[in-house]
Amino acid sequence: MKKLTSILSLLVLSCLFIACNNSVVIDHQKADQKNDLLPEKVIVYSEVNFKTQPMEEWTDGVDSNYMDALNMSVLNSDVEYYSSNVMYDTKTRLDMNKQDVLLNMEEENSEGISALYFVESWNFNKANYKFDKTVESWAPVFEYYRIKNGEAFKHKKLLYDVWSSDAASVSNEKLIAHDMTYEVNFVSEHETNEHLNLEKLVDLIVLPVVEGKKKAYDFYEHIEMPLHEVMAILGHSVDSVEEYDARDNSYTWHVIENDINLNNITAFIFIEDWYMDEKTFTLRKKVKAIAPVIQETLVDEDEEVFERKRIAFKVNLLEKLEKLVKPEEDHKKS
């Protein structure tokens, strides 16, 4: 009887151990799936242009010739594509056919496909500092010019939408862009990103660096930056100010400390690898690094006001990245 009791006790303990282990696995899965941007997925709209990036090296992974070939591959495949819907709404998908797309491409002074337009859901987990993007749909951006009164005006239109497919498989994927680098500006370019809390995103990305929990690197040289240098770029300073007291004709020194200012961060630069399922044309992005961009309004020696953009630093989310080529001119707009 004692033997039977021991066996039953062991079985109960084993079941409890398995249940606890399963609970831990489920908790880890929940932690990995947690989105600190919003309780649910955040829909973000962005356009990545392969012709007008600030640096040519940023677009080495994909060019317009490849996109033209990809466009024809989509049109000649069994994959479904839909009329482009900039305002994300799954209920308004309208089927398109190849003739409609080709008709949309019959423009004089055509520049072909210059960009991809993405509708994505973003997920950031501050516990493991992991940034995930799910491409809900993508559309090729067709660029052309219209002549009016002897002057050329650039126009763009979306040819069609390709929606992500549940049938997409990693085994069918092909790497189509390596270290694709581009800026997403949330203030001036993408007013449609109403679901994204920029202030919260900035805090989630930058504060772990300020608190010393994540390493910051120079964007171009991949050299680790000391914390005081990061703080200085973000606006932190310590100044000594001399104050005169006329009552006793004395001077007193005061130390004034200015805190960091994160309100000037209006954009982020992403470094990603892009994978395309060759059967479903579902596109997957692997975010490898992220860099906050500071926009400042300054006054030069001639008292002329100008806007300057600076890349604060880079934080690696995945493996070590190769050095990026530094531009000849300062990241500045006059």
Phi and psi dihedrals of 310, rounded to 5?
-130, 140
pTM of the model: 0.75
pLDDT of residue 319: 56
Hey, which residues does 309 pair with through a beta bridge?
295
Contact indicator for 250, 156 with CB cutoff of 8 Å:
no
pLDDT of res. 96: 83
Tokens found for residue 41: 């997925």
How many CB atoms are closer than 10 A to CB 70? 18
Q: Which are the contacts of 96, defined by CB distance < 8 A and separation ≥ 6? A: 81, 82, 83, 160
Which parts of the chain fold into alpha helices (H)? 2-33, 64-75, 98-104, 198-210, 227-233
Round the CA-based radius of gyration of the chain to a whole number and report it: 26
Write down the pLDDT at residue 243: 73
All residues at 6 or more sequence positions from 217 whose CB lies less than 8 Å from its CB, including other chains: 223, 224, 225, 313, 314, 315, 316
According to the model, what pLDDT value does residue 188 have?
56
Query: pLDDT (tens digit, 0 to 9) for every residue of the chain, 334 residues total?
Result: 444 444 334 333 333 333 344 433 334 444 455 677 754 556 677 777 666 555 655 555 554 556 777 888 888 888 888 888 666 565 667 888 888 888 888 888 888 888 888 888 888 888 888 899 999 889 888 888 888 888 888 888 888 889 898 888 888 898 888 888 888 887 654 455 666 778 888 899 999 999 999 999 999 888 999 999 999 888 866 666 667 677 777 777 665 667 778 888 988 999 998 898 988 999 999 999 999 999 877 677 777 777 788 899 999 987 555 555 444 444 343 3
Q: Specify the pLDDT at position 66.
A: 65
pLDDT of residue 248: 73
Task: Report pLDDT for 8.
Answer: 36
Using a pLDDT cut of 70, give the percent of the chain over it.
68
CA-to-CA dists, residue 135 to 45, 107, 147, angstroms: 10, 29, 35
Instruction: Write out the two tokens for 61.
Output: 């992974």
Q: In the predicted model, what is the mean pLDDT of the chain?
A: 75
How buried is 244 (Cβ within 10 angstroms: 0-12 exposed, 13-18 middle, 19+ buried)?
Answer: exposed
The answer to whether 47 and 115 are in contact (CB under 8 A) is yes
- pLDDT value, residue 10: 37
